Structure 1
Amino acid sequence: MIPMHSLRQKLAAVVMLTTLAALLVSVCILIAYDLRQYHRALLGDMSTQAELLGHMTSAALSFDDQRLAAENLALLRIRPQVRAGAIYNARGELFASYAAPGEAGDFPVRPRGDNVQIEGNNLFLYRRIIENGELLGTVYLRAEYALVSRTLDYIGIALLITTVAMLLAFLLTRRLGRIVTAPIFAIAEVAREVVSTRDYSRRAPRTSTDEAGELVDSFNTMLTEIEQRTGELETSNRAIAREAEERARAQQEVMRLNEQLEVRVHERTLQLETANAELELAMEEAKNANQAKSAFLSAMSHELRTPLNAILGFAQILTSDSLPSTLPQKKEFAGHILKSGRHLLTLINEILDLAKVEAGAVNLSIEPVALGDVLDECRTMIEPIAAQRGIRVLFPEACATVVEADRTRLKQVLLNLLSNAVKYNRDAGAVVVGMSYDSPARVRVSVQDTGLGLRPDQLELLFQPFNRLGQENGGQEGTGIGLVVTRRLVELMNGTIGMSSRVGVGSVFWIELPMTAPHALPIEGAPPVLALPAGTPDSSVRHTLLYVEDNPANLRLVQEIVRFRPELRLMAAHDGHLGIELARLHLPDMILMDLNLPCVSGMDALKTLRADPRTAHIPVIALTANAMPRDVERGLAAGFFRYLTKPINIDEFTEAVNSALAWVDRRAADKEQQH
C-alpha cells in the first residue's frame, strides 16, 4: 500500500530536483563566464604591456643601450602579476632582464617569436619588436595565471550557495506541500470511509479557496446528492414493504370470507389477483430503482476515470527515475495535470446534472467551437492511458474546422468515445481519429479501434441504457450508461451518432455536427468593449447599457440586438469585478448581468451594486441560463429588476429593456419636479 504522505514526498522531490538543476546551470554559467573574462582580460593586459615595452625599448635596441632597456623593464614592478620580463635583441640574445622580488631569474635561451603559452600557474608571452619593417628584438613576459585557484574559490562559493538554497527550498516545500495535498488527502480519507461504511453523511473539510477547495465542495455536493437518492430509495422500499404487509393481511381476510361466503368467492379472487399484480409491479419498480442506483454509481466511475488516469499518468512520469524529463517537459506535464484536474472538477459537477441529461432538460451553451483545440485537449488526456497498453493513438495533423456545439459537452463526448476505443482495444493496437465532410454544412468525426468488434445482435442493444456489452469482449467491464448519455448530448447539440463493427477487426464510432464560421473573439485581458450604434451620431445616444458577460458568442448576440436601438450605447465587461468598476465609473442607465461569471458571480455583483449609494438606483436585469423556477424566484427576491433566461427571447428582452428605460425616465422626471 502506498503511504498517505507519498504524494507530498513526490512533490517535494520534484521541487528540490528542479531547484537543484536550475542552481547548477546558473552557477556553472556564471563561473564559466567570469573565468573566460579573467583569461581574456589577463591576456589583453599582457599583450598591451608587451607592445608598450617593445615601443619604449626600440630606441635602446637601436643604440645598444642596455641600461635604458633595463630601466624600462624595471617599470614592471608596478604590475605585481608580472613575475619576470626580458628583452632579446634581433639575434635572439638576452639584452636586458627583470625579475620580481623573490622570483628566480631563469629566462629562455632564445625567444620563440609571437607566442602565448600557459603552463600551470604561469603565462608566457612573446612579442617581436618591429620598427619600420625591421626586426629589432623580442619582448618576453612571465605573469601569474591564477585560473585554477580562482576556479576552486568559485566552486566553494557555489557549493555554499547551493546548500543554502536547497535548504530553503526544502523548508518551503515542506510547508507549502501540506497546503497543496491536504484537501486531496481529506477527500481520499472520506472516500475510503464512505466505501467501507456506506455512510454518505460524511463530508470532507474545506481548507482552501482555490481549485482544490472547489473540488472538495463538488465532492461534498456529490455525496449530498447520493445521500438524498439513497434516502429516497430506502423510504420507497419501506413503503413497499408496508404495502406488501397490508396486501398480505387483505389476502388473509379474503380467505376467511371465502370460508363463510361462497357466493363472493369469485369477486374476492379477482381482487386478490389484482392486488398481487400491483404488488409485483411495485416490486419491479423497486428493483429497477436499485438497478438505476448501481448504474449511476458505475457511470460516475467511468466518467471520472479518464481525467484521473491523465493526472496519475503524468504524475508518474514526473516522479519516475526511469523516465527522466527536462524542465520544460516538467512544466508541460504540470500544465496537463492542472488541465485534467480542472476537467475532473467539471465532470463532477456534470455528474450531479446527470438526471437532467436523462430527462432531456440539460442546459447547453451552443457557440462556435474550434474542433482542433478540443481534439488537442483530448489527445493530451487519452495518450498516457493508451501508452500503458502500448496502443497508438493517431489524430489529424491540422484541423481548422469550427462547429456549433457546447465545448464542455463536446469534449465529454469525444473523451467517452476515445476511452471506450482504448478500453476495448487489444494490447499494442491502434486508435485512429478521422474527419470527413460528407455534406457542405456538417463534419463527421470518427473514432476507429482495432478491438474484437461486436456482433450484429450486440449492435442492436448498444445504445440501450445499462447494457454492459464489454464483458463479453475481452472481459472489459463497461458502464452501460456512457454511450446513452453521449447519444443524448450529441442529439441536443443538433448532431447525430452512429457506429459500425466487424468481429475480429474492430469498431468505428462517429458523430456528425453542424459547421459554422469562426467568430472574432475579444482578446482575454483586453479593455472593456465600448460599442456605439453604427451610422448614428453620438448626439442620438440617450441611454447607456452595461452588459456583464464572459461568453463571447452571447455578447455578440446582444451587440447585434442593440445595434438596432440607436438611442442605446452598449458597454461590455467580461467578469463581475470589471462590471462593478465600470458601473461605478460610468453610471449606466441599466445593467444586463449574467449570473455565472468569473471572479465575482452575478448575484454577488448585484449585492455590491445595491450596497453602493452611487449605483443602488440602477436597474439590473438578470440574463442567465439558470432557468429553474426556484432560480427565477431567488433572483427576483435578490433584487433583479427582471429575470430573463437563455436562449434569449427577443420580444421579452426588448420589453424588459423598455420597461427599465421607462422607469429610469420617470425617476429622472420626478427628480426634476422636486428641484
Structure 2
Amino acid sequence: MIRPRRSIREKLVTIVMSTTLAALAVSVGTVVAYDLRSYKHALLNDLATQAELVGHMTSAALAFDDARLARENLALLRSRPSVRAAAIYDEKGALFATYLAPGADSTFPVRPAKGGRPVHAGGTETYVGSGDELVLYKPISENGDLLGTVYLRSENQLMERMRDYLVICVCVTVLALFTAWLLVRRLGHTITTPIDAITRIARDVVTRRDYSRRAPRISEDEAAELVDSFNAMLTEIEQRTRALEDSNREIVRLNEGLEARVQERTAQLELANSELGLAIDEARNANQAKSAFLSSMSHELRTPLNAILGFAQILASKDMPTTPEQKLEFSGHILKSGRHLLTLINEILDLAKVEAGAVSLSMEPVLLAEVLAECEGMIAPLAAARGVRVLFPAAPSVRVQADRTRLKQVLLNLLSNAVKYNRDGGAIVVDCAQPAPQRLRVSVQDTGVGLTPEQVAGLFQPFNRLGQEAGTQEGTGIGLVVTRRLVELMGGEIGVTSSPGVGSVFWIELAVAGADGALPAAPPAARSAPVSADGAAPGQPHTVLYIEDNPANLRLVQEIVRFRSDLHLVSAPDVHFGLSLARSQKPDIILMDLNLPGLSGFEVLAQLRREPETARIPAIAVSANAMRADIDRALALGFAYYLTKPIDIGQFNEAIDAVLSARMRTTP
C-alpha cells in the first residue's frame, strides 16, 4: 500500500506540536505533582498544629472534668473555617466536648460496646481520609499520662485542588498547542517557502526548459544558501545556453554583471565588518563599565564592613580586653559604619529601581516653599558642622508639577553634595528663577574647589564622586545618577556649570503647575490617628506583645525593652500563638512583623480588629519592607506606626511613647 506523501510543512507542524506536548507534559506534571505533595504535607501539618493547640488548651479541662471550659476552647476553632467538626474524648474514649461548624455533619465516633477499646487508644497520632474530609486523632498527654484524645474533622481540599489543576493543565496544554500551531503557521513559511519554490521552479524548468525562472530569497539562513545555489545553477545553465547563441556578447555582459555583483558584495562585506566592529566596541565598553561598577561597589561595601566586623571581633574577643570607654567608642564606629552601609545599599537599590523603570511617581502641584523649608531644616546641622553658611531665597509662592517625596530627595542630594565638597567656612546659595513662563529653575551654588570640563563630562556616571579621588569622600557616587533620572521622570532637566577654584552651580528645571492647582496634600506621616486601648494600672509596666518568627530580631527588641522599666515584653514566635496571647493578655501595644508564616501581618491585624476584646489595641508594624507603597498601605489598613528594619532605637522608643501617650489621652 502506497502511503500518502506528507509535505515538509506538515512534518514541521508534527515535530513542533509533539515537542511542545512532551515538554508541557513533563514540566506541568512535575510542577503539579510537587505542589500537590507540598500542599498535602502543609494541610496535614496545619491540622496537627491545630490539634496540638486544642489538646494543650483543654488538658486542664480534662484534668478537672470541666466540659464547659473544653467547649469554650473548641469554640475558638470558629476562626478556622476549614475545620468542620471537633471533639474531645476522655482517657476512656467517652465523648467529653464537641464543636460543630455551621452546616457540618453532627456525627462523631462513639465508644464501642462495654469492654471495647477507647476511641483510637494507644497514644499515637492518626490520620483518616474519607472522601472530601480529613480526620485526625491526636492523644492528649501530660507528664506521660494519657488524658484523652482530640478529634478534628476538616475539609480535604486536596481533591478539589487536583481537579482545578487538571482543568488548568488541559487549558494550558490546549492554549500552548494552539499557540505553537499559530507560530508554526506564521513562521514556518521561512523554511518551507524556499523549498517549495525550488521544487516548483525545478519542475517547470524540466517541463518547459525555461532557465530564466528564479526562486525567491526570503531569509538569511541555510535555505537562502540553497536558493542562491539553485539560482546560480539556473543562471549558469542559462548563460551557457545563451553562450551557444551569442558567445562573444554574452561573455562581455556576464563579465560586467559579475564585476558589479563583486563590488556590491564587497561593499556589503565592508559595511557588515564596520557594524561588527562597532558592536564589538560597544560590548567591550559595556563589559569594562560593568567590571568598574562591580569593583567600585565591592570596595564601597567592604569599607564599612571592615570597620563593623573588625571592631565586633575586638569586642567579642576574650584575648583583647577593652575598657568601657573603648567599648563605647568601638560601638559608635560599628553604628556609624552600619548606617553608612545601609545608605550605600539604599542608593544602589534606588539606582536599580530607576534603571529597571520600577519607580512610580505621584505627580501633583507641589508648593516649592514648603519643600525648601523642610530641606533647610534637614541640611542646617550638616552645614553647621563644617561652618558652611546656607542661604535660602525668600519663600516662593509658585507650585511645580512634581512628586513631592522625589523632589525633596533631589534637592537634599544636591544640598548634601554642596556641603560635602565645599571648603570649610564656605557658603551655599539656593536661588529660584523662571527662565520661561511655564518653567522654574532651582539652583544650588557652592564655593568648593570646582570641576574641570573633563570632570563635568563624566559627572553623571555611576561611582563618579564629583571628580574626587577614591577614599577622600564617603559614598557610592551614584547619587547624581539617581537624581538626574528622577528629574527626567518628573519631566524636568538638570545641569551644572563649574569653574575650578571658584565653585559649582547645580540646577534643575521643572514645569510650573497651573494657577488653579490645589495645594498638595501633606506627605503621609509615619503614624495614623491615635488608637485607644485598655491601659495598664497606674504604676504598672505597660504590656507589649511582639509577634516575630526571627529569633535574632526578637532578641534585639528584648534587649531594647530591657532598658525601659515602664514596659513588659511578651513574645510569640508564630501567628496563632500571638493571637492567643493577644486575647488572653490584652496588651497595651502589639508589635508585629508583616512577613509572618501562615498569615501576613495585614491578615492578623484584620482578625484582631474583628474581635471586640482586641479591636482597640494599637498595633505597630515592624518590617524590612521599606518601600513607600508598603508603608502607605500599612498605615491605611490601621497600623498606628510603621518601623523599618534595621530598627532605629530612637524611632522605636518614640513610636512606643507616642502610642502610649495617645492611649492615655483617649482612655477615660
Q: Bin the TM-score by the shorter chain.
A: 0.3 to 0.5
| Structure number with larger C-alpha Rg | 1
TM-score by length of 1: 0.34
Q: TM-score, normalised by structure 2?
A: 0.35
